[in-house]
Structure 1
């Protein structure tokens, strides 16, 4: 058990730091999806004109 805890601590010390806070990833993804929604909404009536 002690060896497993030491191994986990060794891995935790070398954890990769994110370049931005996790909230920024969520806000960026949300903004991208809203932009895609607006593009889709802009072309909502294209099929009915032909």
Structure 2
């Protein structure tokens, strides 16, 4: 049982860090997504005062 778990852990460690894109792409994507949410929120900042 332990040898099976150790073999699975070694295989995961050898192949676990493969990403579909470089890490920079994930950072830029997160930044763009957060800025888009910020702009969306900023666009509706005065809706509550008009009603």
1:42 aligns with 2:43: yes
Q: 5+ residue gaps in structure 2?
A: 1-6
Aligned pairs, number: 42
Residue 30 of structure 1 corresponds to which residue in structure 2? Answer: 31
CA distance in 1, matches of 2:50, 2:14: 60
Q: 5+ residue gaps in structure 1?
A: 1-6
CA distance in 2, matches of 1:24, 1:39: 22
Cα offset, 1:24, TM superposition: 0.5
> How much is the aligned-residue C-alpha RMSD, in angstroms?
1.6
More helix by share: 2
Cα offset, 1:30, TM superposition: 0.4
Q: What is the TM-score of this pair, normalised by structure 1?
A: 0.70
